[in-house]
Structure 1
Amino acid sequence: MRWTLKPKPETNKVAHLKEALQIDATVATLLLQRGIKTYDAAKTFFRPSLDDLHDPFLMKDMQQAVARIEAALLQKENILVYGDYDVDGTTSVALMASYLKTRTQNVATYIPDRYTEGYGISYQGIDFAHDNDFTLIIALDCGIKAIEKVAYAKEKNIDFIICDHHRPGDKLPDAIAVLDPKRDDCDYPYKELCGCGVGFKLVQALAFKQNQTTEDLVEYLDLVATAIGADIVPITGENRALAYFGLQVINTNPRPGMKAIIVEAKKEKLTITDVVFIIAPRINAAGRMKHGNHAVTLLTETDFNLAAQYALDINQYNTDRRETDKQITEEALKQIKDQNEQKRFTTVVYNETWHKGVIGIVASRLTETYYRPTLVFTKSGDKLAASARSVKGFDVYNALEACKEHIEQFGGHKYAAGLTLEIKNYGAFKEAFETVVASTIDKNLLIPEVTVDMPIELHQVNTKLWRIISQFAPFGPGNMTPVFMSEELQDTGYGKCVGEDDKHLRVTVTQNGSDKLVGIGFGLGDKLDTIKNRKAFKAVYSIDENHWQGNVSLQLKLKDIKE
């Protein structure tokens, strides 16, 4: 791993914030590194408020969207809420449908089939709307590039409102309203909303027209927080407030479907990390292994007993998904080895039998192994479909754009994208992608990086520091868990490998005679020799709380160690 130390803030700025907030220099440094420079900014950071949310009408086309939906409600039109099959899409659909059902019964939901329709708005979905007399489609977490599809709907007298957060192309669909903070002509102050976040802003605007306040909409924030965590958007600004209050809902009064997942997972008091690794994979598993409709049904169910049954089914889909992605990952790793492609700048693998629902997860696993931009292809109808994942600092979306002559369609983000292409173009695309990445990537990016906030002495790790750092949560992009570095550490002689195949490392460390602290390094079992015989070593770590047999103690969560 590369250890990259964040720049140290100016001494006078640290002193000023330390004085203003009556905190120590360590905490003042951590806050400045997160862009928090004043008392008021710190107050907003530590005490998020629903008043921090921006006026939804600042978003381009919001007036038109609200006017069209109000007209549809007045005329008792049939409204179809349409969304993608992943967590962001299904939570968006659940949110919008749940809200609209408080005002009309003429609402239905539609999630495209991952296998027969693929990502985003489909002709099949529009035909379904036409055949069932829907005159308005609200599309969430998709649609920003659906130029032809929206035109097709218009021919059938179906209007579209698009709520998306993906990057627009050169041209926007001819919809009644296109809500997307990433539009060049949109002055909305916060650009990093997820799809469900954009959907929430539309609900917020509709509610304001009914003289409701944001407080009246808190019950929907469990869905928004789940989407924020799952879609790996920055947990800064408006997203921080939405995630903060959404987590409160998840932990105190979640909707029946969310509660059923939590009960099934046997988990109490969830953090945003728990949302990412416990709730999100289960919701995602429906669309991966069966159909995204199952997730929407669960998340909109109002009867807990029924929701509990649905959660059991979804739990089984998740178990199936785990087995499938493990098998495909093993096959993909073997393919890389057999084709002797370990030294390329990219990983591009293909097998026509691989399950389309898990290729994104497999791409992530391969990126963890070889740490380079990765694409996993499988057959989808008469085309090939792929999921792309990238390494920190490299924009895979731009790399795909540079290869677009070989691609039929693509979309996504800097670090994750999806695409389809003709089977005959696979070989040419694979080489073009390798050429583009090899010529544009900074070679340092091919070594995993751990970003270190600051060096500290071991004696500074105490319950006071831990209590303050805990209030930095919810953590995520833009506000990661603080990572520290300490040097001249020594194991007290109790260091050992633990876990299956001795994968992990457990140490008890001291520094210049300081109090002992236990450290656990997941995946660091092969570093045992580095700490043996009381050799001095340095470590990067976050601080964590360890609960064991009723006892609570601080521990170091080791990221890496070096001599």
Structure 2
Amino acid sequence: MEKRWVYNEEASPEVINGLAESLKISPTLASILCQRSICTYEEAKAFFRPLLSALHDPFLMKDMDRAVDRLSEALHKSEKILVYGDYDVDGTTSVALMYSFLRQYTHQIEYYIPDRYKEGYGVSTQGIDYAAEHGFSLIISLDCGIKSADKVAYASRLGIDFIICDHHLPDEDVPQAVAVLDPKRIDCPYPYKELSGCGVGFKLIQAFCMQQGIPQEEAYKLLDLLVISIASDIVPITGENRILAHYGLLHLNGPQPMRPGLDALKELAGLKGDMDITSIVFGFAPRINAAGRMGDAKRSVRMLLAQTKEEAFQVADIINESNKERRDKDSNITKEALQMIEEDEFVRGANSTVLYKESWHKGVIGIVASRCIEKYYRPTIILTHSNGKASGSARSVHGFNVHSAIESCSDLLDQFGGHMYAAGLTLPVENVPAFRERFEQFVSSTITNEQKVPQIEIDGKINLNQITRNFYNIVRQMEPFGPGNMRPVFVSECVYDTGSVRVVGDSHLKLRLTQDGYYSIDAIGFGLSDYYNTISKGIPFDVCYTIEENVYRGVITLQLRIKDIRIK
């Protein structure tokens, strides 16, 4: 698939050179920092040496004083507290974080994760009824609740108070809870707006520790759970999130034993060495999510709370099997979906994809939508049958607001929600054909030609001989990488293979590249075997890539991970 190479905007030469001189680094590296809004020595110092002392005062968050007071009252009076969270990674890590902290101070505590298929997303009537039937007087909701004004009102009528810890955009109707902690509230002065749901829960714990005179180290012990939330929920790894992620990774990789549930998960995922954001996203997140997609999300919480490795493995094994089942369904449904596109001339040539099949598993349709975009790069909605309705997930392409496109068809829908790049929707099955047509009309009239082509953001153009161990070490100090601070992507022009190019696996290229005839470096390009015949003829090409370490038989070398190739 053709890709657009888009160069990130550079700062002025004066700013770049000034930063390079003050840090004693190359202008290329200084330019990358400036692209990340790090343009002074002090900003660079805070970036490269993040400090927990730089975290914001949690009491800057709207309603934090009310939340801490109500929590303290509940603990003092031995009220029954229900910790309520969503069924995804952010929700389950949030519940594990809050529950594991509070159970040190009370035995009158339980946790609740709604059933994805019976109760749906967010706070449910069933969950509130459970709380009422079992005598709970306080619910702390995590990663959900900000859009549950009606449910919070229902709970209030039953004598149950709510503390909401959420990070999603609120509606105009903010729930009438005892406290609504959400930095995205218009009236919330909290300086950093991009916390995960688990991050908001962490700030509540931080504030509680401050009020009660408990050392902050008690809150910091939970950062291993928080970094999993930050990585998995794809929130920006900037500002406060970057500090929390940095220390969370130190916790995961530190000398102390890893939390038994995470240790078991790491072993089952086949992960070796230190954890980073990527290994969390591809190793931990799918398995934790699989519990909610394929069965019972409470298993994830039980695993995260396990006290021994034996106890953890009992649950982790089941979760790992759920992930294998999820992968099988994901793969099979993706094949069916792609075949449906390929066999329908109209759909194949459309600007959007809307597919419905009654038998598809609801737990994987969001993943399938993303897989379809990898082949047909356009806004995509995958629908299946659920509780008598067509229910589905939408995914979008860079720069296109799929939520707005769905909203334009709202008269055909029962409900919908989400954001620019991902959304969910429910509609009567008989409305699917009309919805497909109307959605395609809206997309066709609003999407630009540029939005139809995937883009690669380029940080800078360099020569291969600039890639030294010292250069790489400075790049590596920019970790943890993620949204808002992506791994730098470079372009080198007019390179060619030294004669070692070969295809490995089914479709991957293994090369040794040179640019000037005497400096060469190993490279690998996943899924790029179509270029083999051209490259093997010695024809020069431009290449964009990231730099990584490769370990082979105990020897560590630098190599390029190729993202795209352009033949000269």
Q: Which TM-score applies when normalising by structure 1?
A: 0.97
Q: Deviations over 1:407-455 (max 9, x none)?
A: 2222333222222223233233222322222222222111110111010
Is the 1:459–1:514 contact (alpha carbons within 8 Å) kept by the matching residues of 2?
no
Q: Determine helix, strand or coil for the equivalent of 1:36.
A: coil
Amino acid in structure 1 at the alignment position of 2:470: K
Q: Which moved more, 1:330-339 or 1:451-460?
A: 330-339
User: 2:469 aligns to what?
Assistant: 463
Is the 2:512–2:523 contact (alpha carbons within 8 Å) kept by the matching residues of 1?
yes
Amino acid in structure 1 at the alignment position of 2:527: G
Q: Which moved more, 1:56-65 or 1:419-428?
A: 419-428
Distance 2:365 2:438 in 1: 21
User: 1:305 aligns to what?
Assistant: 310
User: 1:261 aligns to what?
Assistant: 265
User: 1:435 aligns to what?
Assistant: 441
Structure 1 unaligned spans of 5+: none
What is the CA-CA distance between 1:198 and the residue it aligns to? 1.0
- Equivalent residue for 1:530, pick from 506, 529, 534: 534
What is the CA-CA distance between 1:178 and the residue it aligns to? 1.3
Distance 1:140 1:403 in 2: 31
User: 2:386 aligns to what?
Assistant: 380
Amino acid in structure 1 at the alignment position of 2:463: E
User: 1:153 aligns to what?
Assistant: 155
Report the aligned-residue RMSD. Answer: 1.3
Q: Which moved more, 1:345-354 or 1:411-420?
A: 411-420
Change (3 A) 1:399 1:144: farther
Is the 1:372–1:390 contact (alpha carbons within 8 Å) kept by the matching residues of 2?
yes
Change (3 A) 1:78 1:361: same
Q: Deviations over 1:199-244 (max 9, x none)?
A: 1111111111121343322221111111111111110001101111
Runs of 4+ in 1 over 3 A off after TM superposition: none
Q: Determine what percentage of the aligned residue pairs are the same residue.
A: 52
User: 1:419 aligns to what?
Assistant: 425
Q: Map 1:134-145; keep pairs closer than 5 Å.
A: 134-145=136-147
Distance 2:229 2:440 in 1: 32
Q: Map 1:20-99; keep pairs closer than 5 Å.
A: 20-99=22-101
User: Are residue 283 (structure 1) and residue 269 (structure 2) matched?
Assistant: no
Distance 1:194 1:402 in 2: 29
What is the CA-CA distance between 1:364 and the residue it aligns to? 1.1
Is the 2:265–2:284 contact (alpha carbons within 8 Å) kept by the matching residues of 1?
yes
Change (3 A) 1:335 1:65: same
Amino acid in structure 2 at the alignment position of 1:106: Q
What is the CA-CA distance between 1:514 and the residue it aligns to? 3.4
Q: Which moved more, 1:260-269 or 1:122-131?
A: 260-269
Q: Determine helix, strand or coil for the equivalent of 2:193.
A: coil
Amino acid in structure 2 at the alignment position of 1:258: L
Q: Map 1:501-540; keep pairs closer than 5 Å.
A: 503-540=507-544
User: 2:564 aligns to what?
Assistant: 560
Q: Determine helix, strand or coil for the equivalent of 2:557.
A: strand
Distance 1:247 1:399 in 2: 38
Distance 1:29 1:167 in 2: 33
User: Are residue 231 (structure 1) and residue 245 (structure 2) matched?
Assistant: no
Structure 2 unaligned spans of 5+: none
Amino acid in structure 1 at the alignment position of 2:509: L
Q: Deviations over 1:112-155 (max 9, x none)?
A: 11111111111111111111111111111111111221121112
Distance 1:399 1:184 in 2: 25
Distance 1:243 1:507 in 2: 34
User: 2:203 aligns to what?
Assistant: 201
Is the 1:489–1:509 contact (alpha carbons within 8 Å) kept by the matching residues of 2?
yes
- Equivalent residue for 1:314, pick from 304, 319, 329: 319
Distance 1:181 1:422 in 2: 35
Q: Determine helix, strand or coil for the equivalent of 2:537.
A: helix
Q: Determine helix, strand or coil for the equivalent of 1:489.
A: strand
Q: Deviations over 1:44-81 (max 9, x none)?
A: 11111111211111111111111111111112111111
User: 2:165 aligns to what?
Assistant: 163
User: 1:541 aligns to what?
Assistant: 545
Distance 2:544 2:165 in 1: 41
Is the 1:495–1:531 contact (alpha carbons within 8 Å) kept by the matching residues of 2?
yes
Q: Determine helix, strand or coil for the equivalent of 2:348.
A: coil
What is the CA-CA distance between 1:315 and the residue it aligns to? 1.0
Is the 1:161–1:175 contact (alpha carbons within 8 Å) kept by the matching residues of 2?
yes
User: Are residue 498 (structure 1) and residue 500 (structure 2) matched?
Assistant: no
The count of aligned residue pairs is 561
